[in-house]
Amino acid sequence: MNYQRVCLEALGYTLPRQVVTTDEIEHRLAPVYERLRLPHGRLELMTGIRERRFFQSDTLPGQVSLTSGEQAIQVADIERHHIGALVHGSVCRDYLEPATACSVHHGLGLTQDCLIYDVSNACLGILTGMIQVANMIELGQIRAGLIVGTESGRQLVDNTIERLNTDQSLNRQNIKNLIASLTIGSGSVAVLLCDEELSRTKNRLTTATVLANTDHHALCRSAGMETFMHTDSEQLMNAGVATGAETFTRFLDQAKWQRGDIDKTICHQVGVAHRKLLFESLGLDTGLDYSTFETLGNTGAAALPLTLALAVEAGHIQKGDRVAMLGIGSGINCQMLALEWRKSLVRGGIEAAVTEDAPACG
């Protein structure tokens, strides 16, 4: 898919106030660590994740998505009646029905003729929403669209810790399928796309390449962030990187780019081993990349666009940069987007303080 008139106009984001270190999590895992004689520090060494953040346990994803969406709209200074589509794309949702997009739409005060829905595609949900909205803009169906999402990983991490400590059937081998759940964090992001005629930034979204390698759909399964996630991490990483390499070849051809044309990259935030193998396979220098997994963990569908927002805010992405967004999600699905960057419109920060201290993880 190639676009002539789609711009990534603005980004909004919200980070949880509470920080939980990997060291804290490993202290909570003392029973299973002692039983299986696992060395303390193993989790951080394997993943490169020092800490992650959590929203309060009673936080609804839609509440935070509303905040992030409002940030993007305000910094873009766009009239709300121009927004013809609202997509909520995170794994986490408020309820099975109605769509979480409904409460966000209501809170943002968008028009009644705005198309609203949730989309689910594991860690690629928000990127999928971006592609759908970009298609609508390119076809002239809408002038602008907002894609939002909030991942809240607290309950998944808590449930995983409890199971690891109490399930006596777990051993050094089968425990590996639950480790990926301990890398999950929380975060929220909003992406505002618009027609070039409305844009003040002229940050052009030029290309979207997708590839579905569903032979590997069973490597990572979860009934939701509040339940358990079973992941064959090593197989998923190897198959995901191989799928990514195949997608990247198609992406370069479709974008009419050479490897040397790419100035900056943003990829899905999994961990240090995944990032190293991915960049080796793609023949790219990790110096082009901006990573957040060290301090945010894996924030699911929010991870890649949230990292983009933080990279822009940190000055990693500059005017004139060609940016490759490299998305790989369980399924296995791969989506890669090409951006030509001109001007930064980002607004976000830490969630507002609450009236009482947030409970500790657990």
Active-site residues: which are they? Answer: 97, 123
> Which has the closest alpha carbon to 131: 320, 327, 276, 353?
327
Q: Please tell me the distance from the alpha carbon of residue 258 to that of residue 261, in angstroms, as a whole number.
A: 5
**305 in helix, strand or coil?**
helix
CA dihedral (324, 335, 248, 179) positive or negative: positive
Are the CB atoms for 317 and 264 separated by under 8 Å?
yes
- Alpha-carbon distances of 156 from 54, 143, 150, 182, 352, rounded to whole Å: 11, 38, 14, 8, 23
- Alpha-carbon distances of 205 from 41, 82, 356, rounded to whole Å: 41, 19, 42
| Total Cβ atoms within 10 A of residue 207 | 22
The residues, any chain, with a CB within 8 Å of residue 86's CB and separated by 6 or more, are 69, 101, 104, 105, 108, 110, 114, 115, 116, 145, 146, 147, 148
Q: Which DSSP category does 163 fall into?
A: H
What angle do helix axes 303-313 and 125-138 make, rounded to 10 degrees? Answer: 80
Proportion of the chain in helix, strand, coil states, percent, rounded to 5? 40, 25, 35
The residues, any chain, with a CB within 8 Å of residue 342's CB and separated by 6 or more, are 201, 202, 203, 204, 319, 320
Q: Please tell me the distance from the alpha carbon of residue 33 to that of residue 26, in angstroms, as a whole number.
A: 8
